[in-house]
A and B are shown apart, each in its own frame.
Chain A
């Protein structure tokens, strides 16, 4: 009786082992096949939003989608209790970004700072991939134009052309794993009119930004805009440095930001930042973006 039980137990165990071995060998076979036939996959989600803080990211709305941007910068924290640490003063920008295709984005906006209108085109030239063919970075090219309309009765010579400035930026970003992404942004700016002859009309700068995901839907961002000396001469300006905290919920991304610049467009925050972090010239603010699927295709969810 004893023998009989042991034998059948042995049979069962050996039989089950055999089955188990077959199970995992089938899986191994298709996993090996997958490695051999590996295709490259596009890296997505390099940044959750279209801005790091002030700087634009390589991301944009999908084809047929509209992104509404509400950006707010309060006054300086060192304004003190009377101005409630800057909350009494506010500058804002309202913007719309539209995905013409999955690579091309067009946007317009209006800022309260100097009553400035801005527009841009952003094109994703190269997309990062992983897998068999690895493209290391996503690269977008961004061109912006700005025009400030604040009336200056003491300067009647300010024509529309003189109030206009342009930027061209190369946005080079890489997603390093699931948590960390970084972007380098060489920038060229052109001002049709500058305050003095010593100031340059053509300015070069470089910015760097990064985000670190702390949870699936939250990240901490940082951004530094370096403006080499000798270009903006007639005023004392500082490099714009900003920190942000992103919170994403559904179709919204909320970004809480701290920056030494109150303005939010390239032609202003890169070259016209007076604030200094060490003095407490810190502007608290937020960016809110909301995604809407506008075109029939985007609404119906057609595959592009």
Chain B
């Protein structure tokens, strides 16, 4: 009986120790790009944020993103004002963020192109949803280039679109993520 418990305790300790010892290998950027696009018969909407903060822990396979909603630059100024004032209410909810982890055969030891699955919580407009999306990580000499494309529905994040303009905005917005993270430590 003792022996079994002891063995398990040892296993538990080793397990935990191993996960702590797994070196944090942090790749970071402050100039990542996230853009989104909506196309309908009535109008095209496009915006880009070039000040996305992203960090990828290659060792522990975690990642996090944060950005300021006011950093989205629109092609049309009035659209940008409506986006901030009426839709995402950026005065009230200035940031959007993502935290999660990724799975796949990625290893920081070897340069190359890796296909991973990213899972985690995306928070926009003070509303959090779990998402799971494929992404590619390209590891070249101390830099990870992360790329992902996925769709987001405004209603999922409690962004209400009045019926009068509903047909001007696609039900699903296409989001492109492009981050070039450099190793920090």
Most buried by A among B4, B75, B80: B75
Please indicate the chain A residues that have their CB under 8 angstroms from the CB of B8 in the complex: 3-4, 7
CB interface residues, B 92-115, toward A, < 8 Å: 92, 95, 97, 99-101
A65 to B77 alpha-carbon distance, docked (Å): 9
- In Å, the complex CA distance between A302 and B76 comes to 8
User: Is B118 engaged at the interface, CB distance under 8 Å to the other chain?
Assistant: no
List A contacts of B15 (CB < 8 A).
11, 15
A19-B101 contact in complex given A3-B4, A41-B70, A249-B164, C-beta closer than 8 Å: yes
A22 to B168, CA, bound (A): 41
Known contacts: A10-B12, A22-B57, A302-B75. The answer to whether A27 contacts B164 by CB under 8 A is: no
Most buried by A among B30, B66, B164, B165: B66
Which residues of A lie under 8 Å from residue B28 when comparing CB positions?
30, 33
- A57–B161 Cα gap in the complex (Å)? 27
Q: A19-B101, A33-B30, A301-B46 are in contact. Are A7 and B53 (CB under 8 A)?
A: no
The docked-state distance in angstroms from the alpha carbon of A289 to that of B12 is: 69
Question: Once the chains are docked, how many angstroms separate the CA of A217 from the CA of B65?
Answer: 30
Report whether A30 and B55 are in contact in the complex, using a CB–CB cutoff of 8 Å. yes
Whether B57 pairs with A178 at a CB distance below 8 angstroms is no
Q: How far is B86's CA from A249's CA once the two chains are assembled, in angstroms?
A: 10
Q: Is the CB of B62 within 8 A of A216?
A: no
- Give bound CA distance, A45 to B89, whole Å: 11
A3→B53 contact, CB < 8 A: no
Flag whether A37 is at the interface (Cβ < 8 A): yes
Who on chain B is nearest to A26 by CB?
B64
Residue from A44, A48, A300 with most neighbouring chain B CB atoms (10 Å)? A44
CA distance A62 to B77 in the complex (A): 6
Q: Which residues of A contact B100 (CB under 8 A)?
A: 23
A114: Cβ under 8 A from any B Cβ: no
Inter-chain CA distance A27–B51, complex, in Å, is 15
Q: Is the CB of A301 within 8 A of B75?
A: yes
| Interface hits, B35-76 → A, CB 8 Å | 46, 51, 53-55, 57, 60, 62-66, 68, 70-71, 73-76
Q: Which residues of A contact B62 (CB under 8 A)?
A: 19, 22-23, 26
29 residue pairs bridging A and B, Cβ less than 8 Å apart: A3-B4, A4-B8, A7-B12, A14-B12, A14-B16, A18-B16, A22-B57, A23-B100, A23-B120, A26-B57, A26-B63, A26-B64, A27-B97, A34-B30, A34-B66, A39-B51, A41-B71, A44-B81, A44-B85, A45-B81, A48-B85, A216-B86, A216-B89, A249-B164, A291-B78, A298-B76, A301-B46, A303-B73, A303-B75
Q: Residues of A at under 8 Å CB distance from B?
A: 3-4, 7, 10-11, 14-15, 18-19, 22-24, 26-27, 29-31, 33-34, 37, 39, 41, 44-45, 48, 62-63, 65, 102, 177-178, 216-217, 248-251, 291, 293, 298, 300-304
> Considering the complex of A and B, which 5 residue pairs feature the smallest CB-CB distances, nearest first?
A301-B75, A178-B91, A62-B77, A26-B64, A30-B53
